[in-house]
Structure 1
């Protein structure tokens, strides 16, 4: 069995899918994308495909080593994301070849269901109470929301107050038995992050995500040592070596993204390193169904897994939603806030290939907004 064809598809709202086909007709799907740079990742996949065509798809680890280390210049979001999607697709092929779900190929399941959380926005908190109530009624036991919209470099008391208001409303609606997380989105400076963590601590968030941007990880230890709030990050870290300084600084929750951090293969290794630091895994996944399917396979087989992000109804999904490109929605049916394990082969996702090909005829060109402060200087989005 050899890899015969590799294709990519730009599909709304902001995703990139890849399809890997073997010479005997097996097909695997992956989701290699950097949101806002999907076209660049598409080109990277095309370059990496030059090596893969004609090779045995089941030599997943050897291919991962060559694709990540065979070039003199390595790493970074574009290359790591291109490798991630191809890695997902190869694991999908392996599962279909052996007639088993990927989690069984990873050593077998350690749990029967995976806790997931829902997004409720939060940039503009006017509908927050209603959105929280909707997710509670849908059975979710945890939600995540942005801590703020645009944030000043040194936030005013009013800005901090609006963050506290979000946390207060969340705790009031959810009660003590459910969880909420705040995503700071790297918008805060280190001094601002200190104040935010202190201000929301009384409301016991499950975690605060990306309290500082990844380029300031050297200051993470200062933040962690000064708070009891669990700190989470990792969507903009792409390897074990990227995560190591954060783990050593006292990170509570690691959030690698399976479409950015080298796919299933590297995320499993990140989880193993995190376990050595007593750190939990909560994979980042505001993306499409293939990325979520891959994340769930890892979650079922990873002992130190905590909770899984998923993008159904997320505010980014304006032109298409999570399940618009799948034929069988059952694997993504959440029961009481959990995804239930099944034994569907590969990643367990049935892609609607016709819908994907039709969507790619009108490829998206999604870009994240560029925000500016009142004085005209660039603000973190």
Structure 2
């Protein structure tokens, strides 16, 4: 079997899909994208295709090594995301060729269901208690919210109390039989995190995500020592070498993204490394159906998996949602807030090529928002 073509499709609301065709009629799908940099990743995929067209798609590991290391310059979100989408597509082809789901090729399933969480509240969280209660009513047993909007390096007692009161309101709305994840998106300084995290302890978050920016990961060990709340990070770490510097230094949960951190191949290795440090996996995935399907294949096969993010109905997806590009939404339809394992081959989904091609004619130019503090200086989104 040989790869005969690779093409990318810019799909609203902010996604990039990759279609890899073979001479045996098997098509593999991947999702190589950096949100807000889709065109840049698209160019990287085109460059990498020079190494792949005419090659055997089943030599997944060899291709991964060549694509990540063969250009001399290595790493970074653009290259690792381009490789991630290609890797997903190659695993999809391998599964379809074997008539098996990817999780079977990874050693077989270790669970029958995958626990999911639902997003509430948007970038500047509002009405979180009502939204949290609605998600629990819909069957989810865990919700995730942004903890704050903009925060200054050491913000006021009033702003600090706003965060605490918001988390308290969600805990009251969902009760103690359900879980709450608080994402700070790197909006806190280390000093602000040291102030805020102990105040959130009474509300027992499942974990706090990106309490500080990834460039301040060296401070995570000290933060972990200062709070009982499990700390999570990883959506902006792109390889096992990036994770080496945080796993074993205080985090409880690793959050690599299968569309950013080198694909299924690399996230599986990150999970194995995390397991040796008693660190759980909660993969990042606010993207489209292919990324979610790839994440679920890993979740079924990874022993130290904790919970999976998904973006059905998330605020970024207005007008085009995760299930819109599938022939059958069944594999990504949750029962009681859980995804149920199937034995469909490859990534387990059938992409609606006509819908994808139609949407790609419109494309998108999504960019992340630029926030500023009251004094006009840049603020972390």
Q: If the TM-score is normalised by the length of the shorter chain, which range does it land in? A: over 0.9
- 1:49-76 deviation digits (Å, cap 9, x = unpaired): 0110000000000000000011110000
- 1:64-115 deviation digits (Å, cap 9, x = unpaired): 0000011110000000000000000000000000000000000000000000
| Aligned residue-pair number | 381
Task: Check the 8 A contact 1:122/1:147 in 2, yes or no.
Answer: no
Task: Check the 8 A contact 2:258/2:267 in 1, yes or no.
Answer: yes
CA distance, structure 2, for counterparts of residue 41 and residue 122 of structure 1: 26
CA distance, structure 1, for counterparts of residue 208 and residue 120 of structure 2: 15
CA distance, structure 1, for counterparts of residue 314 and residue 165 of structure 2: 21
Structure 1 equivalent of residue 134 of structure 2: 134
Offset of residue 319 of structure 1 = 2.8
Task: Check the 8 A contact 1:110/1:301 in 2, yes or no.
Answer: yes
Structure 1 equivalent of residue 257 of structure 2: 257
Q: List aligned pairs for 1:110-189, cutoff 5 A.
A: 110-189=110-189
Offset of residue 158 of structure 1 = 1.1
- 1:293-315 deviation digits (Å, cap 9, x = unpaired): 00000000000000000001111
Task: Check the 8 A contact 2:125/2:145 in 1, yes or no.
Answer: no
Offset of residue 123 of structure 1 = 3.9
Q: List aligned pairs for 1:21-170, cutoff 5 A.
A: 21-170=21-170
Structure 1 equivalent of residue 296 of structure 2: 296
Structure 1's unaligned 5+ residue stretches are none
- 1:324 partner SS: helix
Task: Check the 8 A contact 1:19/1:29 in 2, yes or no.
Answer: yes
CA distance, structure 1, for counterparts of residue 20 and residue 278 of structure 2: 36
- For the pair 1:213 / 2:209, whether they are aligned, the reply is no
Offset of residue 122 of structure 1 = 4.9
CA distance, structure 2, for counterparts of residue 326 and residue 3 of structure 1: 23
- For the pair 1:270 / 2:276, whether they are aligned, the reply is no
Q: List aligned pairs for 1:271-286, cutoff 5 A.
A: 271-286=271-286
CA distance, structure 1, for counterparts of residue 195 and residue 103 of structure 2: 41
Structure 2 equivalent of residue 244 of structure 1: 244
Offset of residue 130 of structure 1 = 1.8
CA distance, structure 1, for counterparts of residue 122 and residue 147 of structure 2: 7
Offset of residue 185 of structure 1 = 0.2
Task: Check the 8 A contact 1:122/1:166 in 2, yes or no.
Answer: no
Distance 1:122 1:4, change over 3 A: closer
Task: Check the 8 A contact 1:121/1:314 in 2, yes or no.
Answer: no
Structure 2 equivalent of residue 331 of structure 1: 331
Offset of residue 179 of structure 1 = 0.1
CA distance, structure 2, for counterparts of residue 377 and residue 232 of structure 1: 28
Structure 2 equivalent of residue 16 of structure 1: 16
Task: Check the 8 A contact 2:125/2:146 in 1, yes or no.
Answer: no
- 1:11-50 deviation digits (Å, cap 9, x = unpaired): 1110000000001110000000000000000000000001
CA distance, structure 2, for counterparts of residue 347 and residue 121 of structure 1: 30
Normalised by the size of structure 1, how large is the TM-score? Answer: 0.99
Offset of residue 220 of structure 1 = 1.2
The CA RMSD measured in Å over matched residues stands at 0.8
Structure 1 equivalent of residue 346 of structure 2: 346
CA distance, structure 1, for counterparts of residue 22 and residue 221 of structure 2: 47
Task: Check the 8 A contact 1:96/1:346 in 2, yes or no.
Answer: yes
Runs of 4+ in 1 over 6 A off after TM superposition: none
Normalised by the size of structure 2, how large is the TM-score? Answer: 0.99
Structure 2 equivalent of residue 232 of structure 1: 232
Task: Check the 8 A contact 2:240/2:270 in 1, yes or no.
Answer: yes
Offset of residue 8 of structure 1 = 0.2
- 1:364 partner SS: coil
Task: Check the 8 A contact 1:258/1:291 in 2, yes or no.
Answer: yes
